[in-house]
Amino acid sequence: MTTFPKHTKTAIKVDSISKMYPLYKSSRDRMKEALHPMRKNYHTDFYALRNVSFEIEKGESLGIIGQNGSGKSTLLKILSRVLTPTSGNFEINGRVISLLELGSGFNPELTGLENIYFYGTILGFNKKKIESKLDDILAFADIGQFVYQPLKTYSSGMRSRLGFAVASHVDPDILILDEVLAVGDMRFKQKCYRAMDSLINQKRTVVLVSHDTGSITNFCNKTLWLNEGQIQDFGPSNEIGKKYVGFMTYGLETKPKNKEVAKAKEPDIVLKSKSDAAKIALNDIKWSDVGNLESFGEYGAVIEKVALYFKDSDKRVDVVEGGEWLTLYAQISVKDNLVSPGLGIQIKEKRGNSLFTVNNYLYNKELSSLKGGDTVIIQTDIKFPLIMVGKYTMNIALSDGDQQNHIQHHWIHDAIVITVNNQDQKYKRGANIIVLDNADYNVQMHNI
């Protein structure tokens, strides 16, 4: 490990890091290998990491995702200098504060208060500096009189509170966190989220390992996806999150465009729904082609085109105010028979977080079965929610089954982009996402 000059913009640079562990069938084989005069191997090589390379700049936040055993924690331990890589090297610029596990860096025999001074000293702070931060640390941890008790008597949640409180208040240049937000009650998690927001706004570098893709998308502008010790993908968090959803939820790979399917014949286009017929003539719909958008699925049926209109009109949707009824049309090309088809719509905000999801399974709206060779249009009418001004996207998905068990045939990311624009002030408050209608809010005062 080397350190950059202070003027560099790079915070962390990892170059072809690998970490190998020898695996023995028994302790006897370990002893035989150690004592063999010809250095015969009795082990197999297991690579927790293999040729991992990436770089992030100062002020960036990096999320690391992957299945259990993919090498996430191993990578963080190497960056924190707890482990040494088998090969490759890495470079770090700045003071690194790591919270790899509950109470890491603490002495279980010391009290919580003593551990604050102990850990601060390890990090290079003198007593005066620690005391200047002490009140803020204690207020953040909020463990009351337990701060005077030995750490070994703490619950996992209390150790997490104390560890994060110290790590976030000692002015780290680079903060490394490994699933520490998985422990603790809701109020403490929200406090941690606010602290991370503050660090990111101060242009501190944050590296976060989490199985919660929502946290990764919210806090990290870049994401590294590890799979079996190797880089599966690396890039903007929103884009990597899309691919990870398909891989982890359905075991399917997100592709830049639709997988090739046999072209259906050209029958009369029909509305395969048990709802009322569409108000606009189906032949007059102005479609948007979604064939080149990122998607995943089994592709037994494919969403070829989509269109969004204001309900019962021939006006396409571009800008909405909220509270209006909209109609989504999806043209489907069917290759395999679908017994119980489902069409789902997911509305996402700019960071990729889902605001809400609707599908015909959830609302017991049955669609007719589909046969291979069919070309159909599915119509969905929804009342668009009252939400704050901004841009939103729609994921559209086609499946077969029911809400609990279904085959995902085609999931399209960001199939439609919508702009919400309302001049009313209540739609412009940054703290809001969902906005109440006037009829849904009242206030009054009572004299006592």
pLDDT tens digits, 126-183: 888 889 999 999 998 889 899 999 999 988 788 888 888 888 888 889 989 887 666 5
Within 8 A by CB and 6+ apart from 263, the residues are 333
Within 8 A by CB and 6+ apart from 373, the residues are 264, 265, 267, 334
Give me the long-range contacts of 156-159 (CB less than 8 A, separation at least 24): 156/102, 156/183, 157/183, 157/184, 157/185, 157/188, 158/112, 159/102, 159/103, 159/106
Q: Mean of the pLDDT values across residues 304-330?
A: 92
Kindly indicate the confidence band of residue 42, based on its pLDDT and cuts at 50, 70 and 90: confident
Q: Mean of the pLDDT values across residues 97-123?
A: 82
SS3 annotation, the chain: CECCCCCCCEEEEEEEEEEEEEEECCHHHHHHHHHCCCCCCCEEEEEEEEEEEEEEECCCEEEEECCCCCCHHHHHHHHCCCCCCCEEEEEECCCEEEECCCCCCCCCCCEHHHHHHHHHHHCCCCHHHHHHHHHHHHHHHCCHHHHHCEHHHCCHHHHHHHHHHHHHHCCCCEEEEECHHHCCCHHHHHHHHHHHHHHHHCCCEEEEECCCHHHHHHHCCEEEEEECCEEEEEEEHHHHHHHHHHHHHHCCCCECCCCCCCCCCCCCCEECCCCCCCCCCHHHCCCEECCCCCEECCCCEEEEEEEEEECCCCCECCEECCCCEEEEEEEEEECCCECCEEEEEEEECCCCCEEEEEECCCCCCCCCCECCCCEEEEEEEEECCCECCEEEEEEEEEEEECCCCEEEEEEEEEEEEEEECCCCHHHCCCCCCECCCHHHCCCCCCCC
Kindly indicate the confidence band of residue 272, based on its pLDDT and cuts at 50, 70 and 90: very low
Q: Mean of the pLDDT values across residues 186-197?
A: 80
The closest alpha carbon to 266, from 287, 249, 283, belongs to 283
Read off the pTM. Answer: 0.76
- The CATH number of the domain covering residues in 10-250: 3.40.50.300
Q: Count Cβ atoms within 10 A of the Cβ of residue 223 and give its class: 0-12 exposed, 13-18 middle, 19 or more buried.
A: buried
The domains of the chain are located at 10-250, 270-427
Looking at residue 242, what is its pLDDT?
85
Give residue-wise pLDDT tens across range 212-230: 888 888 889 999 999 999 9
- Which segment, 29-43, 121-135, 251-265, 397-411, is predicted with the most confidence on average? 397-411
d(CA 291, CA 149): 62
Looking at residue 286, what is its pLDDT?
93
Kindly indicate the confidence band of residue 6, based on its pLDDT and cuts at 50, 70 and 90: low
Neighbours of 166 (CB within 10 A): 25
Q: How many CA atoms lie within 13 A of 291 on its CB side?
A: 8
Is pLDDT of 211 > 90?
A: no
Is pLDDT of 263 > 70?
A: no
Is pLDDT of 430 > 70?
A: no
Task: Choose the CATH number for 270-427 among 2.70.50.60, 3.20.20.70, 3.30.460.80, 3.40.50.1820.
Answer: 2.70.50.60
Is pLDDT of 367 > 60?
A: yes
Percent of the chain exceeding pLDDT 90 equals 47
Q: Mean of the pLDDT values across residues 345-364?
A: 88
